[in-house]
Chain A
């Protein structure tokens, strides 16, 4: 029951390490800040290896430092990189038993969430947001399935990517930190990546848009792990200055294990001219926790969050339905481009044109796109039935495909197909 569910959790799930941030809701609204959860007595160690270990003697499943010690003593079977194994649907053999990756990650979550609940006097989870570096629809669905097996259904859990977690983090900070654009440098096993958040504040709802630049071909993780300090420092300085050149940036955040140590401190100090610079590891976990809090108690309804995988335009088709002419939505702002789109069946009534409307929420303009069907099928009026499908190749490219489907036994299809790219 809701009154017993008080835990609001942000869970940053990465392939090597995970981090957790937690809030306990009191009454209906909490303005507390999320606190980072440590799985060890050492309160400075927030990083939890994304790994499990099975003790040889008791076959008990353990996690964290205990699991690492067990591994080091060769007293158990240790399995790490649970996220990538899960994404690849791998199987492992532990003491002659084949175990699938979804079972491994389920065990991991069960242990971690159980420990958290104990820490908070056996409170139940009110809302959980899990953030992962890249969230494909397949990964999202698979994680929901795992959580369902743990008794946490979609009303209490949400999967988001790191960019969206970062957005929630930023808008939950004091306003003076995001007066203008905000930059993020993320340096980890996938190399260096740059994100820039822009805020559209002229109308409601305000838009929060992320642009992403992949710098991993120039700054690889090998440069950090290979101790190429000088080259890395110079390389980062060049890329950072280029990325921020002539941009109005209020705050710069750096995150990821690649920024551990002091090699970047000099560059970061130089970036402080007219900006605030923040360095930290738990940015995504806290952002996820802020997102979970917003789901529970609101407060961010005036914002549309548009990370790099979300479309920024509404696309609709002008058509007659329910007794009136109207714009039928085919895709909406904020949808994941990999999932966005729709198929509609229509009839042509004395026309061979389809009129689409593309409304961009950032530019705040609308463009009419007419698709003319050259050489449409010559049939009796209102028997040319078409299947109209909108899909996206990426966030900025929508393709509409129109297929003649015939009209039942009255008129067979002639298999005619038209395709057109819509300008976004």
Chain B
């Protein structure tokens, strides 16, 4: 059942900017939203007296600020600060606040490396491929990678391979998927490896792997064949495929000037698309 929530306090003339993330908040609800969505970045910054001052003076919520100040005085932790602030707001239901605290507890128990991987995975999911790749490399090749076990190493390699596949570097992607599978023994990685071979037109290797699968893992092979059939069928109905077919026909008919003009346009379009997706 829906509801309308009355916003509390004032809108600040100047926002509070969190140093750890660079995110600015102008109102109490935005502060609560920030806590919910950036819970992995909530550290001691929430216990900075400047936050309490912002809540009191800029947002006009003196009672809430006083609660936070008392926690600061007794050197309480970030968890207590989250409870104090979210408890002053109508923004979250109690169950939602419990979930935020649960996430906070979980993240608090993560190692530094686990935190980094979580951030990298979030960047990958958001399409920030360059940022994600930078973080994955930092994890795998950084000085403090001794705690990564083989399976985790494989999972990270898998994600890096995805980034390479998205950019069309199918050879690199295939190599990474293969090494990743050797480490994590995950069927999903094996499947992606086979797709990378297909997309890269590595036909001999592709046929070899398919043949091996027919002996060792029939169900997976059936899944791959169905998905490839569906993907091929869908691809032929996309705008890009139609453009590609037109281009091929122009070349076959010897209409050179039109062929080069269309090719230039398609390349420009693909470049712009790549830039938009990869920041």
Contacts and interface: CB of A to CB of B under 8 A. Distances in A.
A122 interface: no
Contacts of A318: 4
A268 B7 CA distance: 59
Interface in B11-53: 11, 15, 23-27, 29-30, 33
Interface string A343-385: 0111111111111000000000000000000000000001101
Contact of A354 (B4, B7, B26, B90): B4
B2 A409 contact: no
Contact of B5 (A349, A353, A407, A409): A349
Given A321-B90, A347-B91, A408-B15, A385 B29 contact: yes
Interface stretch (A29-37, A191-199, A322-330): A322-330
B160 to A, nearest CB: 29
Given A407-B30, A408-B24, A321 B2 contact: no
Q: Please list the 4 inter-chain residue pairs (A to B) with the smallest Cβ-Cβ separation, ordered nearest first.
A: A351-B2, A345-B7, A321-B6, A350-B2
A36 B4 CA distance: 56
Contacts of A383: 33
Nearest to B17: A409
A328 B7 CA distance: 12
B3 interface: yes
A410 interface: yes
B4 A385 contact: no
Given A317-B4, A348-B5, 14 more contacts: A318-B4, A319-B5, A320-B3, A320-B4, A344-B6, A345-B7, A347-B4, A347-B29, A352-B2, A353-B2, A382-B91, A383-B33, A408-B27, A409-B15
Contacts of B29: 347, 382, 385, 407
Contacts of A325: 3
Given A382-B33, A407-B33, A410-B33, A323 B4 contact: no
Contact of B90 (A322, A344, A353): A322
A410 B15 CA distance: 13
Given A348-B2, A349-B2, A350-B2, A409 B24 contact: yes
A385 B2 CA distance: 14
Contacts of B26: 408-409
Given A408-B15, A408-B24, A409-B24, A319 B6 contact: yes
11 contacts: A319-B5, A319-B6, A347-B4, A348-B2, A350-B1, A351-B4, A354-B4, A385-B7, A408-B24, A409-B30, A410-B33
Nearest to B22: A409
A346 B33 contact: no
Contacts of B25: 408-409
A285 to B, nearest CB: 44
Contacts of B2: 348-353
A382 B92 CA distance: 9
Nearest to A388: B4
Nearest to A325: B3
Interface string A311-345: 00000011111110100100000000000000011
Contacts of B91: 347, 382
Nearest to A322: B90
Contacts of B90: 320-323
Residue of A318, A323, A352, A409 with most partner-chain B CB within 10 A: A409
Contact of A346 (B1, B5, B24): B5
Nearest to A386: B4
B100 to A, nearest CB: 13
Contacts of B33: 382-383, 407, 410
Contacts of A409: 15, 23-26, 30
Contacts of B23: 409
Given A408-B25, A409-B23, A351 B3 contact: yes
Interface string A51-75: 0000000000000000000000000
Contacts of B6: 319-321, 328, 344-346
A373 to B, nearest CB: 11
A385 B7 CA distance: 9
A319 B3 contact: yes
Contacts of A320: 3-6, 90
A349 B27 contact: no
A349 B3 contact: yes
A382 B93 CA distance: 12
Residue of A318, A355, A408, A409 with most partner-chain B CB within 10 A: A408
Interface string A383-397: 101000000000000
Nearest to B32: A382
B102 to A, nearest CB: 19
Interface string A283-327: 000000000000000000000000000000000011111110100
A250 B167 CA distance: 91
Contacts of B1: 350
A301 to B, nearest CB: 31
Nearest to A328: B6
Contacts of B4: 317-320, 346-349, 351, 354-355
A344 to B, nearest CB: 6
